[in-house]
Structure 1
Amino acid sequence: SEKTAAAEGKVGELRRDPFAMLPFCGYNMGDYMAHWIDVAKDKDQSKLPKIYYVNWFRKNDAGKFVWPGFGENSRVLKWIVERLDGTAEGVETPIGVLPTRDALDTKGLELADDDLDFLLTVDKEVWREEAALVPEHLNTFGEHTPKELWDEYRALVQRLG
């Protein structure tokens, strides 16, 4: 997400922190993340909350937002709920599971096939560029950065090739 007036730094600058909590956390964010990792250890993984990352703001080559947004976001949320129920299809990608073309309800949308393909495609080169920026962020937490985050980072880089 982008920084706001509430966050330190330049407004509009890209930020990499969970739930935009960094300016409001009263202790080292690495410890905060370690806490949530510890909460999940030794638990039945099927009963833990599922986390989905959604980028509503992908732009095409002309700089125009591709997803129509706002009320149409419920279509992606519908896919997530159906996925959790085990009724929606998904395809594995280096960054996680994405909806298949048929699993995402686009009925009534004026969304070109090319735009849908763009939204459902993972550009590995773009993601490699993004991944290269992650260590600088994780290093801001110093020795407090949980090993598990570094493990996840290395696994992402490996999946991206």
Structure 2
Amino acid sequence: MSVKDRSKTPWLPPRWFIRLAWAVHRGLYRVFGGRVGLWRPRANGWGTLRLIATGRRTGRQRSVIIGYFEDGPNLVSLAMNGWGEGEPAWWLNLQAHPDATVDLVDGRRLVRAHAATGDERLRLWARWREIDTNLDAFAALRTSETAVVVLEPRPGASDLLTGS
């Protein structure tokens, strides 16, 4: 690999550091009872939400904090696993059980997940690229395609629930 090629490879902290950062973020969320750790997406930025999904093997509720942006009534995330190999557990859980709950700054929503495909995927990937100009370089670090996950309001459920 030439020096020029290396300059195009985005820098990522070591895997242990990424996992530690996730653990600290989750810990702050728990310690402060959800008052810290979630934020709304900004005009050219992403926000964070807490996803509560059913475990594919255990059937128990599992939660994770992930980045997202809004696309109309839908919430859009990337199943990137910290740009590491493999699918993140939360995405595998959603593939097995697509009905989930999300906690946002302004409350809780019932959602159903699906992977964006075709034109929808192209449009949403382009929107992520506006938020993160290194998106394509980070995605190239993975051997498999990074799923664009759409969390749409669940049919037949109220869009916004009260309480948590």
TM-score, normalised relative to structure 2: 0.24
Structure (1 or 2) with the larger CA radius of gyration: 1
Structure that is richer in helix per residue:
1
TM-score, normalised relative to structure 1: 0.25
Structure that is richer in strand per residue:
2
